Structure 1
Amino acid sequence: MTEKEKLGKYLTKLRQRVPSEEYSKDHISQQELADNNGLTKYLIGTIERGEANPTLDKLIFLAKALKLKKVNIFEIEINVDRYIKEIKNK
């Protein structure tokens, strides 16, 4: 398994923990995740399959969509809401 595939598998597990608000499924679908957060289903699918090289911005928006408050990258804790606010104010 490649490192990108590990990331994709981890993100799939995170998505499967978020309950669906629109569909009669136990967890949010890629489409529902995309619809509510400015991401595309295609991008989410390629990340989950380990095919994409998502930017930090895309990963942060994905973290927000997955209802994460903070993420750790290179042992640096990033506040998801603050990061999004900063890039929107540029």
Structure 2
Amino acid sequence: MAKESVKARQKKREKIVLKYKKKRKMLKELKKYDLLQKLPRNASPVRLKNRCSITGRCRGYMRKFGISRIVFRDLVSQGLIPGVKKASW
């Protein structure tokens, strides 16, 4: 489980990226890289990290489901994810 401060920092970055999205696009089209440099660092979408929506874990993230592999395994075992069946042979 990730610390609450890490989760909060990620949410803050997501808001800042959305806020500056149009401005970044416009500056890139105009090739005004000096003005692009003056924007906040967290305005860059590269700084975002995929995190599990339940635990906040960043490693083992499954993009299709938006959760980490550990949480995914638990939810599949309980039958809470439709269309996914636990493999057995």
Common fold, TM-score beyond 0.5? no
Larger radius of gyration between Structure 1 and Structure 2? 2
Provide TM-score, normalisation by structure 1: 0.25
Structure that is richer in strand per residue: 1
